Copies of this chain bind each other. A is one copy, B any other.
Amino acid sequence: MKIGFVGLGIMGRPMALNLLRAGHELTVWARRPAALPPLLEAGARAAHDLAALAQGQDMVISMVADAPDVAAVMQTMASAAEPGLVAVDMSTIAPAAAREIHGDLQAKGIDFIDAPVSGGEPGAIAGSLSIMAGGSAQAFAHALPAFAAMGQSIVHVGGPGAGQVAKAANQVVTGMGVVAVAEAFNFAQQNGVDPARVREALLGGFAFSKILENHGQRMIARNFTPGFKSWMHAKDLHIVMQTAHELQVGLPGAAVAEQLFAAALAQGLGEADSVAVLQVLEQLSGGRP
């Protein structure tokens, strides 16, 4: 497939490389020219501007920072695109923002899919991302070969915005999961019990989760290298709470998780992995014993 790709950051670069490896014809554009060479060396072409990126493509993909970026990028590309283009955004933004972009592009004959991902940089490199897609069945089918090059678990969740709703749900479950494991380990430590033994005991029962296995191991090793940075989890949970506020949905557990990640930022742990929320909980208990 002929694919235009914009956003060659920590996530976007390995995702674009996997599209090339799978044999797609890739054209790229990046705000920072320094991001281009690794992709050009791997066989991608560079578009001279963002409007040109959208011309003659089967689909375009964006992987950028936030909703205003997505909206701006999509608007510029839409001005140059032929009707029938499928546009996919894989950034994490609010469901309402995704639905608005969907409406704008639909009016220009462009079918839009919100397809945020989970799995972080390791998943992007390995092509094992979890991809949660919202949009029409036709557009999803069209985009599926590209998704297959980047992800392992690929689910068409529902209509416009449904991918972002699933991603928000994902951030609630993983955010509260990291906090739960951190609280459990801190509780054990403060009781004079080795968290490593507690983790082993819990892995064998209903408490099993990938968070307990993976993030739990990193908490025990006190390895706070990202991974997925605290400020990013705080940002994602802020989107969730904003959406919950607009729809009057009560999320008391997610609210606590959001506040604890916000506290991690306040304590200078924003660039650390989200497992650093353990240090916030230790401070709540007067320090690590």
Contacts and interface: CB of A to CB of B under 8 A. Distances in A.
B198 A206 contact: no
Given A248-B286, A250-B284, A119 B206 contact: yes
Contacts of A152: 204
A137 interface: no
Given A176-B179, A180-B177, A191-B95, A207 B170 contact: yes
Given A166-B193, A193-B165, A209-B209, A249 B158 contact: no
Nearest to A151: B204
A173 B207 contact: yes
A254 B183 contact: yes
A161 interface: yes
Contact of A158 (B193, B214, B285): B193
A197 B248 contact: no
B253 A253 contact: yes
Contact of A174 (B119, B132, B153, B207): B207
A168 B195 CA distance: 12
A190 interface: yes
User: Considering residues A129, A165, A286, which has the most beta carbons from chain B within 10 angstroms of its beta carbon?
Assistant: A165
A158 B253 contact: no
A209 B206 CA distance: 8
B153 A204 contact: yes
B193 A157 contact: yes
A130 B204 contact: yes
Interface stretch (A21-29, A33-41, A239-247, A264-272): A239-247
A144 interface: no
A180 B120 CA distance: 20
A67 interface: no
Contacts of A130: 201-202, 204-206
B190 A247 contact: yes
Nearest to A120: B206
A257 interface: yes
Nearest to A282: B250
A128 to B, nearest CB: 9
Contacts of A211: 206-207, 209
A52 interface: no
A168 B285 CA distance: 17
Contacts of A155: 197, 200-201, 204
A80 interface: no
Nearest to A169: B184
20 contacts: A118-B205, A120-B206, A130-B201, A153-B201, A153-B205, A157-B201, A165-B193, A168-B187, A172-B184, A173-B184, A179-B253, A183-B251, A187-B249, A187-B251, A190-B247, A209-B211, A247-B285, A249-B284, A250-B285, A252-B260
